[in-house]
């Protein structure tokens, strides 16, 4: 099999602010709940190191709990606070840097996606902008403005912890129907104060989180913001129905201090606004609108992509995916690509791609992920 034309572009270094990433391949954040009692151990450090030493330029950790009692919903999701957990993260950073990679933590609060009674804090109630879950059902009282400020401060503390531990930046999780996204989405944000209303109003919480994180880490520390249109259980959801609406969301975040946007999509090759462009995906539109570097993601390493809601198969080979990706990077549509499930299944995936040896890659299946670490 011939080498993919232009594949070398994926393995050129790229600068994100003052951080030089060895290549354009990132590991997407993927929740695994493998940190006992929220503390990343030596096995977690080895997990990230293996991906770094096998050619992943930027590792984005699984979602980590900010210092708030209802941040996550499993006792083994890693914490990003407390001396024990931060000592574990320090070891992770050391291992990845020694292997030649760069690493940022994804800081996270699940908001109304949490169920009452979930661990690690059974007594902590879920929180969300209007007290609603992702289906729009009333679960708790809406957040007060004081409670919102406490949450903003928790994100800022997590950001400060990342800098103190030695990470190369942070990623703020603002996607997939979790807390920040619940503020952005009109289905879960019914507020009538300054945190609700129109698109600009619904962006206020995310903007304050970014501003607080920027203040906590200073002007030079890298801040990535992950966002999506789709939500857990609702793949048709839209924050923005046009590039103009998307600009209303992204512009305040860019001005607040976001350096890089990570645009989460299910299939990276799909155009986001078909009536405006038949080629630009969400990451490409984001770069065009903000001028900031972007990360794209979505089924790059899979031979069997998602079926859509009508049951239509989107069968595509990994080789075809990579050929499309290389063309789009050559056209400067986005800057990095995040790879998720392929790297879960095979820590050597990036090296095998570079060596034109993907035929030997371990394919992703639910079973392969449980067997490999």
In the chain, % of residues over pLDDT 70:
93
b/e per residue, 124-154, with b = 16+ CB within 10 A?
bebbbbbbbbbeeeebbebbeeeebeebbbb
Over the stretch 46-57, which tens digit does the pLDDT of each residue have? 999 999 999 999
Q: Which residues of 272-281 are buried (b: 16+ CB within 10 A; e: fewer)?
A: bbeeeeeebb
Res 304 pLDDT > 80:
no
How confident is the model at residue 306, as a pLDDT?
47
Band of pLDDT at residue 174, cut at 50, 70 and 90: very high
Strand partners, 16: 19
Give the span between the Cα atoms of 337 and 186, in whole angstroms: 29
Question: What is the pairing mode between strands 58-65 and 102-108?
Answer: parallel
Mutual orientation of helices 243-256 and 204-217 as an angle, nearest 10°? 30
Under the banding of pLDDT at 50, 70 and 90, the label for residue 6 is confident
Ordered alpha helix ranges (H), the chain: 42-53, 83-98, 145-165, 179-184, 199-202, 204-217, 243-256, 282-290, 318-330, 341-345, 349-354, 366-371
pLDDT at 320: 85
Q: At what angle do helices 282-290 and 243-256 cross, to 10 degrees?
A: 60
Average pLDDT over residues 52-76: 98
Retrieve residue 224's tokens. Answer: 């990535």
Query: What pLDDT is attached to residue 307?
Result: 46
Kindly list the catalytic residues: 178
Q: What pLDDT shows up at residue 299?
A: 81
At 100, list the tokens. 């030649």
pLDDT score recorded for residue 95: 98
Query: Mean pLDDT throughout 257-276?
Result: 96
Q: How confident is the model at residue 367 (pLDDT cuts 50, 70, 90)?
A: low
Output the DSSP codes for 107-168: EE--GGGSPTT-SS-TTPPP--TTSB-TTS-B-SPPPPHHHHHHHHHHHHHHHHHHHHHT-S
Query: Could you tell me if 111 and 128 are in contact, meaning their C-beta atoms sit under 8 angstroms apart?
Result: yes
| 298 closest CA partner among 339, 333, 326 | 339
Per residue in 208-244, pLDDT (tens digit) is: 999 999 999 999 999 999 999 999 989 999 999 999 9
Higher pLDDT, 210 or 302: 210
Q: Tens digit of pLDDT for each residue in 91-101?
A: 999 999 999 99
* Arithmetic mean of pLDDT over the chain: 93
Domains, the chain, with CATH or none: 7-371 (3.20.20.70)
Q: How far apart, in Å, do the first and last CA atoms of the chain sit?
A: 30
Q: How many of the other CB atoms lie within 10 Å of CB of 284?
A: 22
φ/ψ (deg, to 5) at 82: 90, 140
Query: 168-178 burial, b for 16+ CB within 10 Å, e for fewer?
Result: bbbbbbbbbbb
- Give residues with Cβ within 8 angstroms of 114, minimum separation 6: 70, 72, 73, 126
pLDDT given at position 366: 67
Banded pLDDT at 326 (limits 50, 70, 90):
very high
What pTM was computed for the model?
0.95
Read off the pLDDT of residues 98-148 as tens digits, 9 standing for 90 and up: 999 999 999 999 999 999 999 999 999 999 999 999 999 999 999 999 999
CB 218 within 8 A of CB 166: no
One DSSP character per residue, 41-54 reads: -HHHHHHHHHHHHT
238-242 — which CB contacts under 8 Å span 24+ positions?
Answer: 239/181, 239/184, 239/185, 239/199, 240/199, 241/273, 242/273, 242/276
pLDDT band at 357; cut points 50, 70, 90: confident
pLDDT of residue 23: 97
Q: If you average pLDDT over residues 305-315, what whole number do you get?
A: 50
Give the list of residues 6+ apart from residue 17 with CB closer than 8 angstroms, or none: 169, 220, 222, 259, 260
pLDDT at residue 316, as a whole number: 67
The set of residues, in sequence order, having a beta carbon less than 8 Å from that of 81 and lying 6+ positions away, is: 65, 66, 67, 157, 158, 161
CA angle 9, 323, 243 (to 5 degrees): 85
CB-based contact 306:314 (threshold 8 Å): yes
Bond preceding residue 120 cis, omega within 30 of 0: yes
């Amino acid at each position: 099999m011939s080498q993919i034309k232009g594949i070398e572009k994926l393995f050129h270094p790229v600068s994100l602010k003052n951080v030089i990433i060895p290549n354009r391949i990132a590991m997407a954040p993927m929740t695994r709940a493998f940190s006992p009692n929220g503390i990343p151990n030596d096995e977690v450090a080895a997990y990230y190191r293996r991906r770094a030493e096998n050619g992943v330029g930027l590792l984005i950790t699984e979602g980590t709990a900010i210092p708030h009692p209802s941040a996550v919903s499993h006792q083994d999701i890693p914490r990003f606070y407390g001396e024990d957990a931060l000592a574990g993260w320090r070891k992770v950073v050391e291992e990845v840097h020694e292997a030649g990679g760069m690493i940022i933590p994804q800081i996270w609060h699940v908001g109304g996606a949490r169920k009452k009674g979930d661990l690690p804090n059974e007594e902590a109630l879920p929180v969300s902008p209007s007290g609603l879950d992702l289906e729009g059902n009333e679960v708790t009282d809406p957040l007060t403005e004081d409670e919102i400020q406490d949450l903003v401060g928790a994100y800022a503390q997590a950001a400060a912890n990342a800098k103190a531990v030695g990470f190369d930046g942070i990623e703020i999780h603002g996607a997939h129907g979790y807390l920040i996204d619940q503020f952005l989405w009109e289905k879960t944000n019914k507020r009538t104060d300054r945190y609700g209303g129109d698109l600009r109003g619904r962006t206020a919480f995310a903007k304050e989180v970014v501003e607080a994180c920027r203040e906590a880490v200073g002007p030079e520390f890298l801040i990535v913001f992950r966002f999506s249109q789709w939500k857990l259980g609702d793949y048709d959801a839209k924050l923005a129905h046009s590039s103009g609406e998307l600009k209303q969301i992204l512009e305040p975040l860019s001005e607040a201090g976001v350096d890089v946007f990570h645009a989460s999509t299910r299939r990276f090759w799909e155009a986001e606004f078909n009536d405006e462009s038949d080629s630009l995906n969400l990451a490409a539109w984001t770069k065009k609108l903000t001028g900031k570097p972007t990360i794209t993601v979505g089924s790059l390493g899979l031979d069997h992509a998602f079926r859509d809601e009508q049951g239509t198969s989107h069968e595509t080979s990994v080789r075809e995916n990579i050929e499309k990706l290389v063309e789009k990077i050559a056209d400067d549509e986005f800057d990095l690509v995040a790879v998720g499930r392929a790297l879960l299944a095979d820590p050597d995936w990036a090296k095998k791609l570079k060596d034109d040896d993907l035929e030997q890659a371990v394919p992703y299946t639910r079973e392969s992920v449980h067997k490999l670490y």
